Amino acid sequence: MKFETRTIHGIKEGKKERLWGTSVDFASTFPVKEFGVTQEFEYSRVSAPTRNDVEALLANLENGKYGFAFSSGMATTTSVFTMFEAGDHIILGIDIYGGTYRILHDVYSKFGVESTFVDTTDLENIRKAIKPNTKAILIETPSNPLLDVTDIRGVVEIAKEHNLITIADNTFMTPYLQRPLDLGIDIVIHSATKFLSGHHDLLAGVAVTNNEEIAEKIKFSQVAAGALISPFDSWLLIRSLKTLKLRVEAAQKNTEKLIEFFQNHDAVDKVYYPTLDSNKGKAIHESQASGGGSVFSFKLKDDTKVKKFFESLNVAIFAASLGGAETLVTHPSTITHAEMPDEEKEARGFTNSLIRIAVGFENIDDLIADFDNALK
Ligand SMILES: *Cc1c(COP(=O)(O)O)cnc(C)c1O
């Protein structure tokens, strides 16, 4: 089945008696049917019907065998990283999600897991960071907020040479636009809070792999730590995934029109997006993803007008997050990257004038009118 058919029909086996995804099972425990015989459902931290459904669907969409759903993107990352031990070293992209940086740098470091953060857009930086105890590489492409591109196949090649586990955070692309497992990545993770749920109304996360040994470790951590998605959120996510393709396409279409508008506006200095000629990773992005997605950033020429710009928005909302129906606009240097030291922000180009837009699927004329007014 093609992608959008799979988002709707998911896993059909044994489900012919009802429309798949229309019921939710809230049970936390299940009666023992026969003394001394283990059964599929016993206690829902271990296995739960609605969570199993959403996990099967998510695995299917990422072209993976094993899917695991958690209570948030960070719960996913935290749980996946329990597979490493004291003395292990992990390489991560410098522009990975701030929460991922924090859990590795401030929490896992206390348990003896070392991490090095490098600019993965240049593969040479990854090679240089590899040490005898390096166990894994985590990348995010395109990155946030400047939409820099990392060569997934290149990362996989290096990882194979050194026997490292590769992890890709695919939140910005969704499995509709980019499927890292197909390119050789070992584990795909998502904040399902973003595009996968798509309506800014739930927190969830997912990990998908084809590797049985890794799957067992993630499953163990799910049961041991219990950072699980709830039955209700599992059901909401199943419901949302049926429109994933429609939503991603609609938002991307709006994004392409908005970018054209921003690029031609006098008040705008530069626009950042994976498929623009000005992005040095354009060709790589186009070789590994089928679209640029619906997040872009731009710099205002006059950085004394940033506050006024945000205060002038009427349709778009000034809020963090991305991937939902509503267009959200955020200010990386004071919101998403607020904790970063000023010199670091300056060095990385996360200036006061930088603004990130996560485009929703309102009517494009309303969005253009809103941004035109704010820019004026
Ligand atoms: C939001 C986000 C996360 C964290 O997910 P939560 O659901 O907020 O815990 C991780 N990675 C990326 C790329 C994100 O955008």
99 Cβ closer than 6 Å to some ligand 1 atom? yes
Residue nearest to atom 12 of ligand 1 (CA): 97
Q: How far is the CA of 14 from the centre of ligand 1 (A)?
A: 33
Q: What is the DSSP string of 147-161?
A: -----HHHHHHHHHH
What is the average pLDDT value for the chain, to the nearest integer? 95
How much is the average pLDDT of 46-65?
Answer: 96
Ligand 1 atom, smallest distance to 323 CA: 15
pLDDT of residue 236: 96
**Under a CB-based contact definition with an 8 Å cutoff, are residues 167 and 137 in contact?**
yes
Q: How far is the CA of 170 from the centre of ligand 1 (A)?
A: 10
pLDDT tens string 342-368: 888 888 888 999 999 999 999 999 999
β-sheet with 354-358: strand ranges across: 268-272, 295-300, 354-358, 328-330, 317-318
Reply yes or no on whether 97 is catalytic.
Answer: yes
Q: How far is the CA of 107 from the centre of ligand 1 (A)?
A: 17
Considering just the CA atoms, what is the radius of gyration of the chain in Å?
21
Q: Please tell me which residue in 53, 148, 169, 233 is annotated as part of the active site.
A: 169
- Residue 13: is its pLDDT beyond 80? no
Catalytic site residue 365?
no
Least confident of 13-22, 65-74, 133-142, 190-199: 13-22
Quick one: pLDDT at residue 18? 63
203 lines ligand 1 (CB under 6 A): yes
Q: Note the pTM of the prediction, 2 decimals.
A: 0.97
Find tokens 């993770």 and name the residue.
189
Tell me if 191 CB under 6 Å of ligand 1: yes
**Digit-coded pLDDT (tens) for 213-240:** 999 999 999 999 999 999 999 999 999 9
- Kindly name the residue from 66, 97, 108, 272 that is annotated as catalytic: 97
| Cα 339 versus chain centre, distance | 21
Q: For the chain, which domains are there?
A: 3-241 (3.40.640.10), 245-375 (3.90.1150.10)
Residue 77 pLDDT level (bands cut at 50, 70, 90): very high
For ligand 1, the distance from its centroid to the CA atom of residue 86, given in whole angstroms, is 25
Closest CA to 63 of 185, 181, 174, 165: 181
How sure is the predictor about 22, in pLDDT bands with cuts at 50, 70 and 90?
Answer: confident
pLDDT for 341: 80
- Alpha carbons within 13 angstroms on the beta-carbon side of residue 251 total 32
